[in-house]
Amino acid sequence: EAQVTQNPRYLITVTGKKLTVTCSQNMNHEYMSWYRQDPGLGLRQIYYSMNVEVTDKGDVPEGYKVSRKEKRNFPLILESPSPNQTSLYFCASSSMSGPYEQYFGPGTRLTVT
């Protein structure tokens, strides 16, 4: 089954404690992306990657890091989480050559206290 998986699905943590949210896709997609969704602000792109070792900032990259060492995985790293990073996070992937439908993971609800 074609899918994007994210782990963990729910996480409560404290300010400053480094964490990683994993994302994996099994569709051999070149393009992967991280979004955060907050009430009233919609989906905002954090980082994206067009292929292995190719990553770039989205609209709200501050406080986040990513890596793309393998095509299927695109982890999101919060080196020093802060309460304003409390949000619902989605990973997504798509083909670069069309169709451009983005497949989303189930989401990770992060709370930073």
Binding site for other proteins (CB under 8 A): 31, 33, 35, 40-45, 50, 56, 88, 90, 96, 99-102, 104-107, 109
**Of 81, 71, 79, the residue nearest 50 (C-alpha):** 71
Please report the DSSP string for 87-110 in residue order.
Answer: EEEEEEEE-SSS--PPEEP--EEE
- Return the number of the residue (43 or 52) whose C-beta is nearest other proteins: 43
- Return the number of the residue (20 or 30) whose C-beta is nearest other proteins: 30
- Min separation Cβ 15 and other proteins, Å: 24
Check: CB of residue 51 under 8 Å from CB of residue 69: no
- Return the number of the residue (47 or 64) whose C-beta is nearest other proteins: 47
